[in-house]
Amino acid sequence: MSAAYAVIGWPLGHTLSPVMHQAALDELGLDAAYTALPTPPGSETDRFEAVRAGALAGLNVTIPHKLAAYRAMDRLTPAAQRTGAVNTVIRDGPRLLGDNTDPYGFSEALRQFGNFDPAGASVVVLGAGGAARAAVLALLDTGARRILIANRTPARAHQLVQDLQPHSDIPIDACALTDARLPRHLAAAQLLVNTTSVGMSGGPAPGESPVPPDRLHPNLFVYDIVYRPAVTPLLAAAQDCGAPTLGGLEMLVMQGAASLQQWTGRPAPARTMLAAARAALNADPS
């Protein structure tokens, strides 16, 4: 009997998950199919119960269902507990295990595809939502020297600091994107991470960069987790000034590879997944 895997979200739009996961399942020689299941809010519980019943062998969860998944699980991995969200549902006998592979995906993409080790680095993170939380947790685990969270609404950035600082000796600070201190922090930083939607195709500011180009420098690694377009305005500006860069497609692939490995017990062919995702993105960059 063929195994069925899926991603749920609302709306799902042009999700790359089916193409990259199917490429991996096929390479592994598994009799399995991965599909996208658009799931309006309020109907996500049926998807979770389908995993429990075995109708689905595993599930990826994206916006807006990550918190609902967190609350619906029987058990949570430490990563899910720390992030307060679930993006991977795993069938564990009659029980549901919830994981969050975003921190792993963030770190592994940076290490494997960016060839950058954030240990000892001064880091600026733009944004204060769920993606920023995953990024900061990953940076704490990899030993960043200090982290500044800059957000359009500074109260959200300060709340994230309050949530995470008690669990780490690494100093974390927060400020507004318009704070006069931000240029100084960027000048001293070795890593800039964008977790906002600024520069994203279809987002509120697709042609903009979250920071002015003149605040970038060649000694700053620029990591934009947006992957549509492949080269955002921020990444283009960083490349123009000679800074090393990494887009968000690699993080998407690595968090997906971690999910697939948990479902199948087999190492996921991440580079096959990346090639499939990149081909699909190039074919439909919107």
Query: Which residues carry out catalysis?
Result: 66
Residues 148/161, Cβ–Cβ less than 8 Å: no
- Which structure tokens are listed for 145? 């020297």
DSSP state of 123: E
**SS3 sequence, 13-46?**
CCCCHHHHHHHHHHHCCCCEEEEEEECCCCCHHH
How many C-beta neighbours within 10 Å does residue 184 have? Answer: 11
Which residues touch 285 (CB under 8 Å, ≥6 apart)? 201, 228, 229, 230
Looking at residue 114, its amino acid is G
CB atoms within 10 A of CB 281: 21
Closest CA relative to residue 231, chosen from 264, 209, 254 = 209
